[in-house]
């Protein structure tokens, strides 16, 4: 068997292990990714490992041989640790920000203000934009938990458009989940491809809003053709929803303070390269600007602001604040484990020297490369259900394209293609599918009728936006 077919067989074995563990064995994504990494590390030929370290890491033959001599566990653990060191703190801080936004009422304030600005007629736009904004620091499931009571309350007030409200909440939050850091999926992809996190925030925000807009148009058309009745759901009664919607706004923090933990890190990270160009490189001011623009520092400051907001608004005691942070870190810790396991899986995939298989692709059309990245991610997402796992797995296969430095276009487009590819196809193997259907009162058939086609449309529109961008302005 040729080296090419051996490498392909190793990659296929690893991907099959991950997908099979999630889909058939029903294992947690963390275990699935660790098992996949161990399988790949165990069957990768020694010659491939040495070739990877000599070509990609520019090590001598002796140093590459020393790397190949490491045990399977050491190589998997190295990738796990490297990923934790890179993004572990970022995910933990994002979890704290999200928890404090929810507990302080800041997230509720953002949604209510958007509804007040847009009015009842434009409430779907408010839901989409609020979902997108909250989806940046808060995980998709949590955003939907927060916003669906407001969607139900709007239906009780107007007596119509419930399907429109549900779908606009979904389309906004789900696109931020796959395209805008510090959400774990796009954060990991950006790090693996060497994309500046500030640039990923801006580019992901632009493409995300375009794709969310496509989902919005689908929601409008679906609402004209079909009706979704407001049903009792197992999580909360309609009476409880009405009480939550009528909460006095004086109990919520002001809008500027509510938005500060979301906007502040974006300004600090994205503004650092701009401000850095106006000061002396070796001066004290330059040191401060670069320190504050560091992603870890920026998100830590945002988390502190979010905690202060919670304490100030709710007069939270130190014990209650500690419990809230503990809950946030417990939730974020699971995401860190999954993401770090994905880093281990991606690390051993790269040691198969998969980059050698695709070394000729940079000489082809950038559109073909981005389409390939989108298709690989979409296939993995459809097979096993998780958008984050699909992005982690796909970037492990494709990161070799960007590491060589001769991609021919900016790797942010590759990251965006992977993010958009993580949308199709949302169906019954996706936990988010069940969150939406159970919380909204949809049947499974209604979920397949409404949520699944919307996920496909948004993914395809996102790919089209990426292809236009990489063709017109490749930034190479």
Q: Residue 251: what are its φ and ψ, rounded to 5°?
A: -90, 0
| 233 DSSP β-pair partners | 236
Q: Is 233 helix (H, G, I), strand (E, B) or coil?
A: strand
pLDDT digits (tens, 9 = 90+) for 145-179: 777 777 877 777 777 889 999 999 999 989 998 99
pLDDT digits (tens, 9 = 90+) for 182-195: 888 898 899 889 89
pLDDT digits (tens, 9 = 90+) for 133-144: 888 877 787 778
CA angle, 164 as apex, 166 and 106 as ends, to 5°?
50
The predicted pLDDT at position 204 comes to 95
pLDDT digits (tens, 9 = 90+) for 53-97: 887 677 888 888 888 888 899 999 988 888 788 778 877 887 788
Q: Residue 236: what are its φ and ψ, rounded to 5°?
A: -160, 145
The predicted pLDDT at position 421 comes to 95
Instruction: Please answer whether residues 190 and 181 qualify as being in contact, where contact means their C-beta atoms are separated by less than 8 angstroms.
Output: yes
Q: Domain locations in the chain?
A: 87-334
With CA atoms as reference, report the closest residue to 72 among 16, 14, 2. Answer: 14
pLDDT of residue 317 exceeding 90, the answer is: no
Percent of the chain with pLDDT over 90: 22
Please count the other Cβ atoms lying within 10 Å of the Cβ belonging to residue 469: 21
pLDDT of residue 1 exceeding 50, the answer is: no
For residue 363, give every residue at least 6 positions away whose Cβ sits within 8 Å of its Cβ, in sequence order, or none. 408
- The predicted model gives 363-390 an average pLDDT of 85
pLDDT digits (tens, 9 = 90+) for 240-256: 555 555 666 777 888 88
What are the Cα distances from residue 108, in Å, to 146, 154, 161, 238, 407?
A: 8, 14, 21, 18, 43
**Per-residue pLDDT band at 405 (split at 50, 70, 90):** low
Between 322 and 273, where is the model more confident? 322
Between 215 and 386, where is the model more confident? 215
Alpha-carbon torsion (193, 10, 382, 79), positive or negative: negative
Taking the C-alpha atoms of residue 110 and residue 48, their distance in angstroms, rounded to an integer, is: 52
Q: What is the largest CA-CA distance in the chain?
A: 73
Please count the other Cβ atoms lying within 10 Å of the Cβ belonging to residue 3: 14
Instruction: Please answer whether residues 107 and 258 qualify as being in contact, where contact means their C-beta atoms are separated by less than 8 angstroms.
Output: yes
Taking the C-alpha atoms of residue 234 and residue 194, their distance in angstroms, rounded to an integer, is: 44
pLDDT digits (tens, 9 = 90+) for 97-106: 877 877 787 8
- The predicted model gives 37-45 an average pLDDT of 90
Taking the C-alpha atoms of residue 145 and residue 451, their distance in angstroms, rounded to an integer, is: 16
Taking the C-alpha atoms of residue 235 and residue 325, their distance in angstroms, rounded to an integer, is: 24
Please give the model's pTM, rounded to 2 decimal places: 0.78
The predicted pLDDT at position 96 comes to 84
pLDDT of residue 286 exceeding 50, the answer is: yes
The predicted pLDDT at position 79 comes to 84
pLDDT of residue 271 exceeding 80, the answer is: no
Between 51 and 288, where is the model more confident? 51
Tokens coding 156: 């009780």
**Per-residue pLDDT band at 282 (split at 50, 70, 90):** low
Taking the C-alpha atoms of residue 336 and residue 74, their distance in angstroms, rounded to an integer, is: 19
For residue 295, give every residue at least 6 positions away whose Cβ sits within 8 Å of its Cβ, in sequence order, or none. 90, 182, 197, 265, 269
With CA atoms as reference, report the closest residue to 211 among 253, 259, 178, 251. Answer: 178
Instruction: Please answer whether residues 258 and 309 qualify as being in contact, where contact means their C-beta atoms are separated by less than 8 angstroms.
Output: yes
3-state secondary structure 249-286: HHHCCCHHHHHHHHHHHHHHHHHHHHHHCCCCCCCHHH
pLDDT of residue 119 exceeding 80, the answer is: no
**Per-residue pLDDT band at 341 (split at 50, 70, 90):** confident
Cα radius of gyration rounded to whole Å, the chain: 23
pLDDT of residue 359 exceeding 90, the answer is: no
Tokens coding 318: 């130190």
pLDDT of residue 237 exceeding 70, the answer is: no
Taking the C-alpha atoms of residue 420 and residue 408, their distance in angstroms, rounded to an integer, is: 20
The predicted pLDDT at position 11 comes to 80
pLDDT digits (tens, 9 = 90+) for 428-476: 767 778 778 877 888 888 888 999 999 999 999 999 999 999 999 988 7
């Amino acid at each position: 068997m040729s080296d090419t077919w051996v490498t392909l067989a190793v990659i296929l074995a690893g991907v099959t292990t991950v997908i099979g563990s999630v889909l058939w064995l029903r294992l947690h994504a963390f275990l699935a990714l660790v098992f996949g990494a161990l399988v790949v590390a165990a069957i990768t030929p020694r010659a491939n490992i040495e070739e990877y370290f000599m070509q990609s890491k520019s090590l001598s033959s002796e140093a590459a041989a020393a790397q190949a001599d490491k045990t399977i566990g050491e190589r998997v653990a190295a990738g796990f640790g490297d990923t934790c060191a890179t993004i572990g703190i970022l995910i933990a801080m994002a979890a704290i920000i999200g928890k404090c936004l929810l507990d302080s009422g800041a997230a509720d304030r953002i949604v209510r203000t958007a509804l007040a600005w847009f009015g009842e007629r434009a409430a779907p736009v408010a839901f989409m934009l609020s979902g997108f904004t909250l989806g940046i620091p808060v995980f998709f499931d949590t955003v939907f938990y927060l916003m669906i009571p407001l969607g139900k309350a709007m239906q009780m007030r107007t007596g119509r458009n419930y399907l429109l409200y549900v779908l606009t909440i979904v389309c906004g939050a789900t696109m931020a989940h796959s395209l805008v850091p510090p959400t774990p999926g796009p954060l990991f992809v950006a790090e693996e491809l060497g994309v500046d996190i500030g640039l990923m925030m801006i580019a992901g925000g632009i493409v995300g809003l375009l794709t969310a807009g496509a989902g919005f148009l689908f929601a409008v058309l679906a609402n004209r053709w079909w009706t979704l009745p407001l049903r009792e759901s197992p999580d909360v009664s309609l009476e409880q929803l009405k009480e939550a919607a009528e909460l006095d706004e004086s109990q919520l923090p002001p809008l500027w303070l509510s938005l500060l933990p979301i906007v502040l890190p974006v300004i600090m990270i994205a503004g650092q390269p701009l401000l850095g160009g106006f000061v002396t490189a070796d001066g004290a001011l330059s040191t401060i600007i670069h320190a504050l623009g560091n992603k870890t520092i920026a998100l830590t400051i945002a988390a502190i602001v979010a905690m202060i907001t919670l304490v100030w608004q709710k007069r939270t005691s130190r014990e209650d604040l500690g419990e809230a942070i503990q809950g946030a870190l417990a939730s974020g810790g699971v995401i860190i484990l999954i993401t770090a396991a994905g880093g281990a899986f991606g690390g051993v995939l790269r040691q198969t020297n998969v980059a050698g298989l695709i070394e000729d692709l940079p000489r082809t059309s950038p559109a073909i490369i981005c389409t390939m990245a989108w298709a690989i991610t979409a296939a993995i997402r459809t097979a096993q259900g998780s958008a984050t796992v699909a992005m982690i797995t796909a970037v492990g296969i494709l990161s070799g394209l960007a590491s060589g430095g001769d991609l021919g276009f900016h790797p942010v487009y590759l990251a965006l293609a992977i993010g958009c590819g993580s949308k199709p196809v949302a169906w019954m193997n996706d936990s988010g599918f069940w969150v939406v259907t159970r919380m909204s009162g949809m049947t499974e058939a209604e979920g397949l009728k409404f949520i699944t086609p919307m996920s496909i449309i948004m993914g395809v529109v996102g790919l089209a936006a990426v292809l236009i961008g990489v063709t017109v302005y490749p930034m190479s």
